[in-house]
Structure 1
Amino acid sequence: MNAAATQAAGSRSLPFAGIELGGTKCVCTLAYGPGEILDQRTVPTTQPSETLPAIVAILTEWHAAHGFRAIGIASFGPIDIDPRSPRYGQVLETNKSGWPGADIRGTLSAPFDVPVGFDTDVNGAALAEIRWGCAQGLDDFAYVTVGTGVGVGLVVHGKPTRGISHSEIGHLRVPRLASDTLTSVCRYHPDCIEGLASGTALVARLGGRSVDAVSEDDPVWEPVVSALAIMCHDLVCTTGPRRIAIGGGVPSGQPHLLPRIEAALRDSLGGYMPLPADGPYIVAPALGALAGPLGAIAVAASAV
């Protein structure tokens, strides 16, 4: 179907274009939802002057061949998500060279007269899990990814949290175990969750050992479980999500972590806050590796 015929069929028949911008790669998806992915392309995350025009070229091709109803941009952060801000749509301070100040939203949306959603990658993944995954039917939900860093998409009353910025729960500071002497891998905080429990922190804890050779009862997991359980304790006592999904490279390769984190959470709460009793409270994301790309589709759908 050519573009004119597609447009004539009505805007509700058009798919969504989603852009998940990650630290190493960007996944571009044209889809209606998880069972209807029409095309998917990957662009390396290098410099904005290279990466963003490559994404625009893909969007331009899709727009000519199919059309799309909206664009959803789910980006690594920190980003400015306040529409009233002069820096709206831009990357803020980040360790990623060349990206501070990059106008992601403006560059990707300028050629197309369609609604545009802009949010963090983890907020997008949380919205995707609510639409199609493990949080269907829930308005209060937290999606945690533990990989190179620790990010949390936090949805309260059906919407991602807003305020002076998007949530940066991975940088909550937590009490260390008495035995934990690791130098935090976060250059901003000596004792935040990302600095102590991210994949980067795990590599530092392993000291050259392969994670595949580490047993489930190895002491290296204790501070990781502790920090993530404290994070969950804080989530329960502040916004009270009805479910917490924890994904990313670290827990997906170590399935024993989730029940240990939940046990530590329940012990930490001490019965003070009741958790839902209809199954595990801490779960794996149902969408798996598609949570991020479909998160951008969910952001596009939310824009409409």
Structure 2
Amino acid sequence: MATLVGGIEAGGTKFVCVVGTPDGEIKDSVRFPTEAPEQTMANVFKFFDQYDVKVIAIGSFGPIDINEDSATYGYITSTPKPGWTNFDFVGAMEKQYPGVKILWTTDVNIAGYGEYKAGAAKGHKNVLYVTVGTGVGVGYVQDGKFFQGFSHPEGGHMLPRRYPGDEFKGVCPYHGSCIEGLTAGPAVEARAGKKGHLLAVDDKVWDYEAFYLAQACATYTVTFRPDIIVFGGGVMKQEQLFDKIRKQTAELLNGYLDTPNMEDYIVHVGLGDDAGIKGCLLWAGDNL
């Protein structure tokens, strides 16, 4: 029987559990809402109890502790999600599945890994992945490894210069007008009074979005020097954003650094909504 691996894309709104082959072929999957840990983990166990998997890779909403030397490695830490603060996710999985290797990283890292292995960034060594959805998250895959210091990057919480005349205060409960507070889905809705998919493609909101996301791209470029920047998440399904972001990123860099052609450098996710679950299977397969 073929070797099976598993994955969990653990989001603040929904969980996706998947079983498949080490090369990323999905054999079975299930989705369910993110409820309290007791109910949610019961659903996780119900799914994986059916299968003999060798490795389970988890990409989780956060913040999470990914420092293997930390006493709280494997925990979801200071999340505002009710019930999940200081939840020992890896510990719960290891208790339920002794002998199964449990891999642990952020949800944005795992989506970035999927893009690195099989998506829009395939063939590149240094891949910066940005999701703009409910929040803004950033992951960096450097030659097959996730970049981290004492923890994972929080590139959505940079503080940009303001668009001239923009008085929107932002929605981030910690920083107000950080990149996340100005560009994530809730910011679009708060600014416009309706969800982004209901807005016209030429709505002024998209000019604000591009202005701030271009600053993020310029900053990621001078700090990480990636080969490619891949955008995913619901907000980035607005295709009209890309030309605006590319143009303004080039203007901000002002010829200081060599970058690839902007159309090849700042791109849309290639695996769509499957980037995370594909990334889980591929990362698990690479760690058999």
Structure 1 partner of 2:25: 36
Q: Which amino acid aligns with 2:285?
A: A
Give the unaligned 5+ runs of structure 1.
Answer: 1-5, 7-12
Structure 2 partner of 1:299: 283
Structure 1 partner of 2:217: 232
Q: Deviations over 1:49-96 (max 9, x none)?
A: 11112202211112xxxx222110110010000111110100110111
Structure 1 partner of 2:242: 258
Please give the residue correspondences for 1:187-206 in structure 2 after superposition, counting only pairs within 5 Å.
Answer: 187-206=173-192
Structure 2 partner of 1:14: 3
> Are the aligned partners of 1:34 and 1:132 in contact in 2 as well (CA < 8 Å)?
no
Q: Which TM-score applies when normalising by structure 1? A: 0.90
Q: Check if 1:97 corresponds to 2:86.
A: no
> Are the aligned partners of 2:185 and 2:195 in contact in 1 as well (CA < 8 Å)?
no
Deviation at 1:277, TM superposition (A): 3.1
Structure 2 partner of 1:269: 253
Q: Which TM-score applies when normalising by structure 2? A: 0.95
Match of 1:106 among 77, 91, 94: 91
Structure 2 partner of 1:168: 154
> Are the aligned partners of 1:259 and 1:282 in contact in 2 as well (CA < 8 Å)?
no
Structure 1 partner of 2:170: 184
SS across alignment from 1:260: helix
SS across alignment from 1:220: helix
> Are the aligned partners of 1:30 and 1:40 in contact in 2 as well (CA < 8 Å)?
yes
Name the % identity.
39
Structure 1 partner of 2:113: 127
Structure 2 partner of 1:56: 45
**Distance of aligned partners of 1:35 and 1:238 in 2 relative to their CA distance in 1, 3 Å threshold:** closer
Q: Which amino acid aligns with 1:255?
A: E
Deviation at 1:278, TM superposition (A): 8.6
Structure 2 partner of 1:47: 36
In structure 2, distance between residues paired with 1:143 and 1:35: 19
In structure 1, distance between residues paired with 2:110 and 2:198: 34
Q: Deviations over 1:188-207 (max 9, x none)?
A: 10321000010110001112
**Distance of aligned partners of 1:76 and 1:210 in 2 relative to their CA distance in 1, 3 Å threshold:** closer
Q: Which amino acid aligns with 1:260?
A: K
SS across alignment from 1:61: coil
SS across alignment from 2:260: coil
SS across alignment from 1:72: strand
RMSD: 1.6
**Distance of aligned partners of 1:22 and 1:222 in 2 relative to their CA distance in 1, 3 Å threshold:** same
Deviation at 1:284, TM superposition (A): 0.9
Deviation at 1:276, TM superposition (A): 1.1
Match of 1:145 among 131, 150, 168: 131
In structure 1, distance between residues paired with 2:262 and 2:65: 38
Q: Deviations over 1:214-238 (max 9, x none)?
A: 3333221122111111110011001
State the 4+ residue runs in structure 1 displaced beyond 4 angstroms.
Answer: none
**Distance of aligned partners of 1:238 and 1:119 in 2 relative to their CA distance in 1, 3 Å threshold:** same
> Are the aligned partners of 2:136 and 2:180 in contact in 1 as well (CA < 8 Å)?
yes
Deviation at 1:140, TM superposition (A): 0.6
> Are the aligned partners of 1:116 and 1:303 in contact in 2 as well (CA < 8 Å)?
no
In structure 1, distance between residues paired with 2:195 and 2:119: 32
Structure 2 partner of 1:9: none
Q: How many residues align?
A: 287
**Distance of aligned partners of 1:179 and 1:28 in 2 relative to their CA distance in 1, 3 Å threshold:** same
Range that drifts further, 24-33 or 263-272: 24-33
Deviation at 1:111, TM superposition (A): 2.8
SS across alignment from 2:129: strand
> Are the aligned partners of 2:196 and 2:235 in contact in 1 as well (CA < 8 Å)?
no
In structure 1, distance between residues paired with 2:217 and 2:23: 28
In structure 1, distance between residues paired with 2:262 and 2:185: 31
SS across alignment from 1:189: coil
Structure 2 partner of 1:75: 60
Q: Which amino acid aligns with 1:39?
A: D
